[in-house]
Structure 1
Amino acid sequence: MATSRSSSRPYDIIVFGASGFTGQFVVEEVARTSAEGPKGTLKWAVAGRSRQKLEKVLEQAAAVLSKPEIKSEVDIIVADVGEPDSLASMCKQAVIVLSCVGPYRFYGEPVVKACVENGAHAIDICGEPQFLEGMQLNYNKEAREKGVYVIGSCGFDSIPADMGVIYTRDQFKGTMTAVESFLTISNGPEGGHIHDGTWQSAIYGFADASKLKGLRKKFGHQPLPVTGSKIKRRSALFFSEELQQYAIPFMGADPSVVKRTQRYLYEDLQESPVQYGAYAGVGGMVSVIKLLFAGMLFWILVKFSFGRNLLIKHPELFTFGMVTKDGPTRKQMEQSSFCLTFFGEGYTPEQDPKQGKPNSKIRTQVKGPEAGYVATPIAMVQAALTILNEPQALPKKGGVYPPGAAFAKTSLIERLNKHGIQFSVVGSPGP
């Protein structure tokens, strides 16, 4: 695994926020992946504000992977989002900084700023559209001038969805015009849990939805052209024939991330944009009743500061035990998996997309392990290695990009296939 390090920077990768809940799993994935190449090829370090906590993270990674050398071979850098000088010092030492400091609306921007100013590429696993698009608005110009790549949402939000749309389009014979994705999560007998850091990001995101609209107006974007039939809008709760269960619109960052990628492909590469709809399966009627009850409470409480405080203090109560302050156990993670199924439609090479209805369909899938803390570190680390190994395949200039825009011409999908996130064509869904 040869890496192309820039200049004389001592580290290819620095994991910042390494002692956070997700950060510790990213550290383990970097350690696991660095061992695939010749010894000493990948130079990396961990960073955060507490040396003691970072030492514990390295001890844990050494124990989990049975690699005691991690404790002595991986360097520790003390840096704090509240101390710009420490961030600048960290960024000057890295080719790429993996930022694991959510909620990103509170802690993410100082990292992006320091990376851009000090010439380090930045990758995060953010699922907060307001932060992602705010970074594009505020830092894209400077990042482009400096040749720095800032690539957000390189975790479960939103590499499976964004690269899944790219993959489906690339496998389609002809012009694909629209695609819908349906997410299903499988948990083992002990169920699956979500760490409350992810929960907090969702709370603040919904509370600030009106600000996101104002932010988007500042871009001055023209609507993307629609080729073929306009994608159908589905209701807030519906029975999905595709999944044979009830489904709802996917509430995460995927739709906004995919749209940003499609805008880049259309405006910068003159490729035909693909319309996108994202949905998630919720199961049978019992699950629907739970969802409606929890959703109603959430929508009422999230509008008020006291309500948000209640949601943050008692996550288990308002999610029927799904969100916990401790997050899932390793056993729960081992028993969990996700499947994202894409239904694409478009026109065969012989048919003019401007004439008649779409006449061809395709179905693909992206399958992987537990989404939040197993698949996310895999996706993040492989995104970083893609930057290191394939700089010539990235967009010609630096800038702030969603993953599909940054990695559309790279081998990221092949890399993910080798590491447990599988992309495949499963055939035509029929007429």
Structure 2
Amino acid sequence: MVNKKYDIVIHGASGFTGKLICNYLFNHIDAKSIKWAISGRNKSKLEEISLKYNVDYFIANSFEKNELDILTLKTNLIISVVGPYETYGKLLVESCLKNSCHYLDITGESSFVKYVKNNFSKIALDKNTLIINCCGFESIPPDIGTFYSIKHIKEKNLSIKCYMKTKGQISGGTWSSFLNHFNRKKIIKEKNKTKTPIRKKDKILFYNKDLKKWALIFPDIDRSIIKSSSNFLSFYGDKVSFTKYMLFPSIFKIISLLIPLFFISILAKFNFTRNWLKSFIPSGTGPDKEAREKHWFDYTIVGETQTKKIITHVKGGDPGYGETSKFVTETALCIILNYDKLNMKKGVLTPASCAGDLLLNRLQKAGIQFSHEIYEV
């Protein structure tokens, strides 16, 4: 790894999630082993965070190439929490590759992930640089959970059904990004091309008798990430399948979610009503510490072959922010402190294909619970 002044820079440090990452890193047992800094657009907010944690800060606008180059020339790794990434992320990835700076983000935007993969895979290999998207709640629990399952069942070509239960609350930034998607015709057009397809054999809605819950298909970025991991990790086999579902206690809960989403999608297409919707959760706000401590997530990952079944449970706290801060920070620390032990050291990768067991062990030590049972079929 190139010797630079900083090991890690948190880009977007003054945002809601950025602040949580700063706090997590500052209090981490490995913090004394690294030198880190922060960056963003708001000088006054950055100064406040800089003083709180005694770290340097940089002013870096996502559309100013020179400011981004100054940043990536000085650090080994960037954690980017500035979204929507389709709008704010492309120039930063280019700058990271130009200056041999590893890059992590917490995006869940399938169009951005595909753009990065299609445009930067070869360059990342040539520049010996790591580019890893989806290092937050999307998609570390299912990605590392699948990795964990395949390692323990010791079988290839699993058929995986992933069931998700959560209790949480979104921040203003996430809410704004969600609403903005409905106004960017170019992005919507691209997303329609790149969204995870629903296969004909996938059930869209059904009652799971084992879990005693209704399961609604959730075709997000996770399937694409697991597929990429399987392409890099030979012990997965070349025919791994993955389908994700959200769990609900009743059909009425599903209806109560889908109806508001339908009307929000219509209102968000117009500037006036979209801005009105944004006012309900202002940018920079999010669940406070007391609320986050009551939040949780619970994944049940069921993997089957013709002879065996493994049921893996992945559990943790506040999914969108508290644990997302943990996920991306622990991934960064794997790269900085355990670089020689990584599965792969360059390219556009996934968390599992890059850090695998290293990241699994870190997450377990950090309080993320992994457990499993194996049955004969």
TM-score by length of 2: 0.89
Aligned to 1:9: 4
Structure 1 alignment gaps of length 5 or more: 1-5, 63-69, 187-191, 217-229, 318-322, 347-357
Change (3 A) 1:134 1:93: same
Structure 2 residue 365 is matched with structure 1 residue 418: yes
Aligned to 2:25: 30
Instruction: List per-residue Cα deviations over 1:26-74 (Å, max 9, x = no partner).
Output: 11111111xx14x742110111122211122345xx4xxxxxxx2xx31
Paired residues of 2:344 and 2:354 also in contact (CA < 8 A): no
Change (3 A) 1:242 1:126: farther
Higher mean C-alpha displacement, 157-166 vs 170-179: 170-179
Aligned to 2:238: 272
Aligned to 1:179: 160
Aligned to 2:202: 233
Structure 2 alignment gaps of length 5 or more: none
Q: How many residues align?
A: 371
Paired residues of 2:4 and 2:76 also in contact (CA < 8 A): yes
Structure 2 residue 97 is matched with structure 1 residue 116: yes
Give the letter for the 1:422 counterpart.
Q
Structure 2 residue 299 is matched with structure 1 residue 340: yes
Give the letter for the 1:41 counterpart.
S
RMSD: 2.6
Structure 2 residue 283 is matched with structure 1 residue 328: no
Paired residues of 2:213 and 2:249 also in contact (CA < 8 A): yes
Structure 2 residue 70 is matched with structure 1 residue 78: no
Shift of 1:102: 0.9
Paired residues of 2:157 and 2:237 also in contact (CA < 8 A): no
CA distance, structure 2, for counterparts of residue 50 and residue 290 of structure 1: 38
CA distance, structure 2, for counterparts of residue 293 and residue 316 of structure 1: 21
Instruction: List per-residue Cα deviations over 1:227-280 (Å, max 9, x = no partner).
Output: xxx994112x332224312221225321222222223335xx884341000011
Structure 2 residue 291 is matched with structure 1 residue 313: no
Change (3 A) 1:280 1:200: same
Aligned to 1:290: 256
Change (3 A) 1:388 1:132: same
CA distance, structure 1, for counterparts of residue 223 and residue 155 of structure 2: 23
Aligned to 1:378: 326
Change (3 A) 1:53 1:345: same
Paired residues of 2:156 and 2:236 also in contact (CA < 8 A): no
Structure 2 residue 121 is matched with structure 1 residue 140: yes
Give the letter for the 1:293 counterpart.
I
Residue 336 of structure 2 is aligned with which of 388, 398, 405?
388
Shift of 1:311: 4.4
Instruction: List per-residue Cα deviations over 1:158-181 (Å, max 9, x = no partner).
Output: 011111111111111433421111
Aligned to 1:211: 190
Give the letter for the 1:50 counterpart.
N
Shift of 1:386: 0.7
Instruction: List per-residue Cα deviations over 1:98-156 (Å, max 9, x = no partner).
Output: 11101111111111111110111000011101101101111111111010001011010
Aligned to 1:106: 87
SS in 2 for 1:384: helix
Higher mean C-alpha displacement, 197-206 vs 164-173: 197-206
Aligned-residue identity in percent: 30
Change (3 A) 1:275 1:204: farther
Instruction: List per-residue Cα deviations over 1:317-361 (Å, max 9, x = no partner).
Output: 7xxxxx665221211101111011100101xxxxxxxxxxx1210
CA distance, structure 2, for counterparts of residue 203 and residue 258 of structure 1: 27
Instruction: List per-residue Cα deviations over 1:195-232 (Å, max 9, x = no partner).
Output: 1322343445576454245469xxxxxxxxxxxxx994
SS in 1 for 2:134: coil
Change (3 A) 1:205 1:281: farther
Change (3 A) 1:312 1:370: farther
SS in 2 for 1:314: helix
CA distance, structure 1, for counterparts of residue 177 and residue 229 of structure 2: 22
Rg (Cα) greater in structure: 1
Residue 199 of structure 1 is aligned with which of 175, 178, 185?
175
